Amino acid sequence: MDDAIDHQISLDPGGRNCRPLYTAARETGGGPLVDRAADRLIAAIEPGATVLVSTGFPITPVDTPETDGPLGAAVLGRAVARLGAVPVFVVDSSTQPIMTAVAAALGLEPSRIVTPTAAETLLARDTPRVLVAVETPGRTADGSYRNMAGEDITHLVDGVDDLFIEAADRDIPTVGVGDGGNEIGMGTVNSAVETHIDHGETVAAVTAVDDLVVSGVSNWGAYGIVAALSLSVGENLLHTPDQERAMLAACVEAGALDGVTGQSTLSVDGLPSPIHEHLVGLLNRLCEHSLSG
Ligand code: MG
Ligand code: MG
């Protein structure tokens, strides 16, 4: 069943060429990508455990985050909260109101939302059990941050790569979700990004994670992990298509833009809301069929 989830989330209706990255991630060993990430989370989660979830990708020329990321982070955060853990969202100041609005639209209020600097303190003081990056800018080999057009966006990024590197040094597990190759976690499939993605050699992120989920839209990767978590614990932890639309409306209302078109529309990565609502409906159907059988 987890293979079916992987298939759903790695559809590429936006023509991003994410399939070779998916294949490369799959070749790093183990089963379906969502399965590995869900297993990692289940092993790490215990009552009261802190789970750090980062997100927020800025769009040029304005420093405004895109609609891909915050929704996935919110749904994943709510799922781990339902399993007894404490989700802490790590976002820069421009993403803060957007993350707050999206979490509230999902009924996740009040939740902890911290800056990358505060997260470093948290990592030092209050050891989180696992770190998850959902559509979070990843540093490239030359130290810069790049959007998918190859533009330098370093001045807009409050990077959290060091958080993930330090976590790895301290044997704290890390999970990453991405769709393009320039996100934290894509260091795991660095050479595939360079080979298969436009501007790959410029944009390829170098920060790796223990478990990478590659999806057609990063939000979908996070939803896929929640679907796999649902099957593991025997309870549907996903959101509904109506909640998907409500979160996206809240996200856009709070100022987020479509990362592909740059427009303030009810869309993610150039795909209008109904496509995301259908994807969420499909994942719910898969989960409920499996849980009832
Ligand atoms: Mg992306
Ligand atoms: Mg995306």
> What's the pLDDT tens digit per position in 174-202?
999 999 999 999 999 999 999 999 999 99
Distance 234 CA to ligand 1 centre (A): 31
Distance 180 CA to ligand 1 centre (A): 4
User: Beta strand 271-272 with 267-268: parallel, antiparallel or unpaired?
Assistant: antiparallel
For residues 111 and 89, is the Cβ–Cβ distance under 8 A? yes
Euclidean distance between the first and the last CA atom of the chain, given in angstroms as a whole number: 12
Cα distance between residue 68 and residue 228, in whole Å? 20
Q: Where are the beta strands (DSSP E) in 104-251?
A: 112-114, 130-134, 174-178, 211-214
Give the Cβ contact number of residue 43 at 10 Å.
Answer: 11
Cα distance between residue 177 and residue 209, in whole Å? 10
Q: Sign of dihedral through CA atoms 276, 42, 107, 264?
A: negative
Hey, what are 90's tokens? 């790590």
Answer yes or no: is pLDDT of 225 > 90: yes
Distance 86 CA to ligand 2 centre (A): 26
Looking at every residue in the chain, the average pLDDT score rounds to 96
Residue 1: predicted pLDDT: 67
Q: How far is CA 107 from CA 78, 243, 246, 250, 287, in A?
A: 9, 10, 11, 12, 21
Q: Is the peptide bond before 61 cis (omega within 30 degrees of 0)?
A: yes
Distance 225 CA to ligand 2 centre (A): 16
> What's the pLDDT tens digit per position in 1-60?
679 999 999 999 989 899 999 999 999 988 999 999 999 999 999 999 999 999 999 999
Cα distance between residue 145 and residue 158, in whole Å? 10
Q: Which ligand is nearest to the CA of 14?
A: 2
Cα distance between residue 209 and residue 188, in whole Å? 6
Distance 125 CA to ligand 2 centre (A): 32
Residue 127: predicted pLDDT: 86
> What's the pLDDT tens digit per position in 59-82?
998 889 999 999 999 999 999 999
Specify the 3-state DSSP secondary structure of 135. coil
Answer yes or no: is pLDDT of 88 > 80: yes
Answer yes or no: is pLDDT of 111 > 70: yes
Distance 48 CA to ligand 1 centre (A): 31
Q: Which residues surround ligand 2, an ion (CB under 5 A)?
A: 68, 179, 218, 269
Percent of the chain with pLDDT over 70: 100
Reported as a pLDDT band with limits 50, 70 and 90, residue 280 is very high
Distance 259 CA to ligand 1 centre (A): 8
Give, as one character, the DSSP assignment of residue 286.
H
Distance 21 CA to ligand 2 centre (A): 14
Distance 17 CA to ligand 1 centre (A): 12
